[in-house]
Chains A and B, each alone.
Chain A
Amino acid sequence: MFGLFGKKKKQVSIAAPITGKAVALDQVPDAAFSQKIIGDGIAIEPTEGVFVAPFDGTIVHLIDSHHSLVMASDEGVELLVHIGINTVSLQGKPFTPHVKSGDKVKKGDTLIEFDIAQIKEAGLPTITPVIIANGDIVAELKAHEGNVTAASSPVIEITLK
């Protein structure tokens, strides 16, 4: 009614980028993630080695060793996904990227395929932190745990400032 209540804050729902089981970030065996130093979000224990775009957006940065990338939504939410822990040491071997920095992608597009067995054989955890990289734009964040399907189940719901 004539703006009496001000502008409604924008809500953004982010789908799982990977099929598996979503768990709280404090389950990740790496303090940079579990203590939310890099940012808030959720972690997914993958059951399928396919990382897809959880929303339409742009690949901001694919890390050289192909185990992690940052993508941005059209609203400006930046999402960092890091496949496994200490996986930088695998020098890209279990990871097959299908995108490069700067690419435009649609929700559901395959971004990186990864070999779960190869990561486990190397003795590394496959748990994958999914982090809001620009937490300064977020007023409130809710993470949903449980079994999730890529590009379908919502895992993070945020209210923008």
Chain B
Amino acid sequence: MEKQFTVKNPQGIHARPAGAIMKKASEFAATQISLELNGRKISAKSITGVLTLGMKAGDAVTVSAEGDQAEQAVEAVGAVIESVLD
């Protein structure tokens, strides 16, 4: 299961939005959730991983998941990626 989401936060995914993405991903304990951008793929449950993707406004990020509730996990994490947290 994978789907693309677009970053809308004008400041990109800095520490606070990255924390929100990691927190949402961690709610799906039995699911492997990955984010991919520009050929780099990282675990959505790692704050370092999420930050190192360097997601900026307008970037299309691929969210993929395997395991329990994969579809719900992709949609939930994608919604956080598209939300604008200041």
Interface membership of A26, Cβ < 8 A: no
Contact in complex: B54, A133 (CB < 8 Å): no
Q: B79 within 8 Å of A by Cβ?
A: no
Say whether B47 contacts A88, CB under 8 Å.
Answer: no
Interface residue count on the A side (C-beta < 8 Å): 22
Cβ–Cβ contact A80 & B15, under 8 A: yes
Instruction: Report the number of A-B residue pairs with Cβ-Cβ less than 8 Å.
Output: 54
Chain B contact surface mostly:
helix
Cβ contact within 8 Å between A32 and B52: no
Q: Does A89 contact B (CB under 8 A)?
A: yes
Residues of A within 8 A of B47 (CB): 38-39, 70, 80, 133-134
A88 vs B16: C-alpha distance when bound (angstroms) = 10
Interface size class of B (residues with CB under 8 A): 10 to 19
Residues of chain A lying within 8 A (CB to CB) of residue B22:
37-38
**Can you identify 30 A-B contacts, CB atoms within 8 angstroms?**
A30-B16, A32-B15, A32-B19, A32-B20, A37-B19, A37-B20, A37-B22, A37-B23, A38-B18, A38-B19, A38-B22, A39-B47, A60-B48, A60-B52, A63-B14, A63-B15, A64-B54, A65-B14, A68-B15, A70-B48, A70-B51, A70-B52, A72-B48, A80-B15, A80-B48, A82-B15, A88-B14, A101-B52, A134-B46, A134-B47
Q: Which residues of A pack against B, CB within 8 Å?
A: 30, 32, 37-39, 60-61, 63-65, 68, 70, 72, 78, 80, 82, 86, 88-89, 101, 133-134
